[in-house]
Structure formats: C-alpha cells, structure tokens
Amino acid sequence: MNASYASDGALSDRVNTFGQHLLRRFGERVHKVAVNAGFTCPNRDGIKGRGGCTFCNNVSFSPNARRPPPVDQQIAAGRKVIAKRTGARRLLAYFQAYTNTYADVEALRLAYDSALACPGVIGLSIGTRPDCVSAPVLDLLAGYRDRGLEVWLELGLQSANDLTLARVNRGHGFQEYCSAVREAHQRGLPVCTHLIVGLPGEGGDAARDSLDRVLSLGTEGLKVHPLHVVRHTRLAQEWRRGAYRPLAMEEYVSIASDLVERTPSTVLYHRLTGTAPKDILLAPMWCARKWAVLNAIWAELRRRGTSQGQLARPPATDHPREEPAQSLVLRPYFCTR
C-alpha cells in the first residue's frame, strides 16, 4: 500500500486528527517541534523512585536527550527541518522529554517564554506526569491560554490499571490522573491523554478499558502508541529472558482501530502510533515503520466500514463512580470525586 494513502488528510476521513484540526483553525499547517528543556522526573531523581519506568529510555522519543542545547536553538533547528519538509511556518513548542512541569514555576516560565519568543511559535504542548501538575503550574499554563495561545497539557497516563502502573514502576495511579484532569478542566486547559497499548500483562481488553475510563472522565485529545522495547531498560531485560512478548503489528492495528471506533468524534487524535530510533529499538521492529502502521489502521477502518465515534458510548453525565471489578481480573477502582 502506498504511504500516501495514510497521509493526515486521508486518515482524517475516518479519524479526527490533531493536524487537520490545526489546519482548520489556523488556515495553514502547524507542526510540533520537540523540545528537551533538561528537566528530570520524580521517578528518576529519588523522590518517588530510581531508574524511571521499566520501558523508559528517553532517547527513544527525544533526539536531544543528552546535554540539550538551549530551547531557542532546538526550535530554530526544528524549524529548518520542517521548512524543507512541508514549508510550515507555524509551530507548537512540544516540551517532550521527561517531566516538563517538574521544576520551580519561575524556571518553567523562563523555559516556556523562551520557546514562545521564537519566530512562528504559536503555543505550547507540555508533556508531563499526572502527579506533577501543581495549581501554580496549571495557573501559569492557563495564563498563556488566556492570551490566545494554543496550549495543551499532555498527561502520560499510559494505563488506567493501577496494578499495571505499579508493574512498570510508573510511580502514580489513576487517582492522580483524575485529579490532574479535573484541575486542568477547571482552568479551561485542554488535556491530551497518552495511552500505551501492549504494556506487560495487558492486551486489547485492558486497552479498551483504559480508554473507556479516560473518556468517562473527559479528555480533549488522545495519543496512542504501541509499547517499544528499547535498549538500556528493564523491559529490555524482561524481553530478553522471554518474560515479555511485544504485540504483533496485526494485533496493534486491530486494537488501535477498536479504540478509534469507541472514541467520540469530538476528541482529537494527536497520535495513533509511535516510533523509536533503529539504533536503540529492540522489538517489535515494525514500530520503526510509522507509515506502514498508519496505512494498516486506515485500511482496517476502511475494511470495517467504520470511523471514529462509530461505537462511542453516550457522554457521561457525571464523573465515574467507585465500583468493583467486572470485566478484567486486574481492574482497579475508578477515581472518585
């Protein structure tokens, strides 16, 4: 299948993509530029743990993971690449590596302001953990949004199952995510929730369950990708001794298509797959082929004759209640008010 079939424009025939949303809003293409501001993580510096999540090697999603240059230089370099690739002139500064709200508020302000001062930058996308979004940080982000800037809070939940989160040494539970979403929404901040498909002990049922819980609480965006096994992680050790089996591409495509069908059409998909550099990727190797995966998801949705929202549940009228496990053996309680 030709890669052009799954271009953002074609995929948006069946999925409400973030790229097309920005195109509609601004009348031209807007690209994210990944930024590493040199922050760390409470699951690495000893506050909550050491070594981070079992799957985490930040090089897998941050090309500037070692000794990052200043924020403005990273954006300038990214702008040059994007100009050659698509000619896009407007940018979102995506603070991606580690936990980008885990610092003094004034230090955060300096980093964010540095990005916003760069030519063409129209807003911020802040990647962080649900347990690292204090009220002062949310107030800061809400202030940028009040100025008319495009601002997104990207919360790395990964799974709504507390037992899974403990198994991968995440350092927080679903309750912290619920609190972060409520606080963000009280300030008018849109949330993009990150979910990983294929975490240890999880398959399609768990992925669908996590999505349902996230949707019942309310989210404006979603990022979904398969679990990568990358070098220098504890997950890599599990994989080598046969304790973890990655998903096959066909499995992931089927699950991702299920999630799209269950997602209301108003929710924006910021991502439907993810890649890792070939020099650190151990498994599954198909994760290095972004367009092949997107092509396959598009083709599967077409085969089913379906699209985003086809199987979405009616919107919840209240926050989810605490209730006993039903569909999954490893299902934790819902968050409470």
pLDDT (tens digit per residue) in 21-39: 999 999 999 999 999 999 9
Q: Give the total residue count for the chain.
A: 337
**Own/partner pairs, 18-22, CB within 8 angstroms, 24+ separation:** 18/221, 18/268, 18/269, 18/270, 18/271, 21/268, 22/92, 22/150
pTM (two decimals): 0.88
Beta bridge partners of 281: 230
Compute CA distances 192 → 221, 287, 302, whole Å: 4, 22, 26
Task: Give every residue of the chain whose pLDDT is below 50, as ranges.
Answer: 1-5, 60-65, 317-337
Report the C-alpha gap between 319 and 176 in whole angstroms: 14
pLDDT (tens digit per residue) in 85-123: 988 999 999 999 889 999 999 999 999 999 999 999 999
Report the C-alpha gap between 257 and 204 in whole angstroms: 11
Bridge pairing between strands 229-230 and 268-271:
unpaired
pLDDT score at 277 = 86
**CB-CB contact of 106 with 76 (8 Å):** no
If 0-12 CB within 10 Å is exposed, 13-18 middle and 19+ buried, where does residue 68 land? Answer: middle
Report the C-alpha gap between 193 and 214 in whole angstroms: 8
Q: Domains of the chain by range and CATH?
A: 3-304 (3.20.20.70)
Tokens of 63: 């090309």
pLDDT score at 315 = 61
**CB-CB contact of 200 with 168 (8 Å):** yes
Q: Where are the beta strands (DSSP E) in 214-302?
A: 221-226, 229-230, 268-271, 281-283
**CB-CB contact of 57 with 232 (8 Å):** yes
3-state DSSP helix/strand/coil % of the chain, to nearest 5: 40, 15, 45
